[in-house]
Amino acid sequence: MTPVVPPADDADPPRARGRADAERNRTRVAEAAALVFAEHGLDATVAQVADRARVGNATVYRNYPSKTELLSEVALRWLVDWRTALRAAADAGDVPFREVFLELYARLRGDRLALDLLRAGAIDDEVTAARAEVEALFTASLDAAVADGLVRPGITYADLSVLILGTAGRLSEIGETDPAAWRHVADMIWAGIATG
């Protein structure tokens, strides 16, 4: 059973194998993908990613078997990050829902992929599962706020989904990137759902 494969001492760089230039390209592609998907969401094309990375499209496919795979990697990064933040807030216990709410707006601003993910994003099972977790955590936070009398009774996750994803989508659509403008909209929404 003694393996014939290389020593496999992938200690520090978990994926650093093969030629150095190839590794450099892999990084470039990943970084470009993050930017391009943030800008164009699910509509981004592989060619756009390749161009941004200053690389041929074949190089993208050499590192990722399909566009879906690439999308999934970027999507999961966002979802896991947001999930971590939500869990931390839940664990702390004393984070007001308003902050969670505003934080979501801030994370959606300028990130069309994030928006697309929460809107429909059926990329693969892993992403779907992560999204479900994130939604559950957010819902729990909202329900607690309703129970505490911070948010008007009768307001559900479905309602907030329409309000937040709808307005964030529209802001993206018109190319609004000013944080103050986003904040202004968030404040109006908040005024509509908060108690007195």
162 binds a second copy (CB under 8 A): yes
Which CB, 110 or 169, lies closer to a second copy?
Answer: 169
Pick the closest to residue 171 from 160, 185, 158 (CA basis): 185
Q: Which does 190 bind (CB under 5 to 8 A by kind): DNA, a second copy, none?
A: a second copy
Q: How far apart are CA 142 and CA 81, in angstroms?
A: 19
Q: Which one of residues 8, 11, 13, 19 is an interface residue with DNA (CB under 7 A)?
A: 19
Smallest separation, CB 113 to DNA (Å): 13
Which CB, 32 or 168, lies closer to a second copy?
Answer: 168
Site string for a second copy, 94-123 (x = CB under 8 A): -------------------------xx---
Site string for DNA, 75-94 (x = CB under 7 A): --------------------
| Cα angle 171, 143, 193; round to 5 | 45
CA distances from 98 to 49, 89, 95, 179 (A): 36, 12, 8, 17
Quick check: 73 and 64 in contact, CB under 8 A?
yes
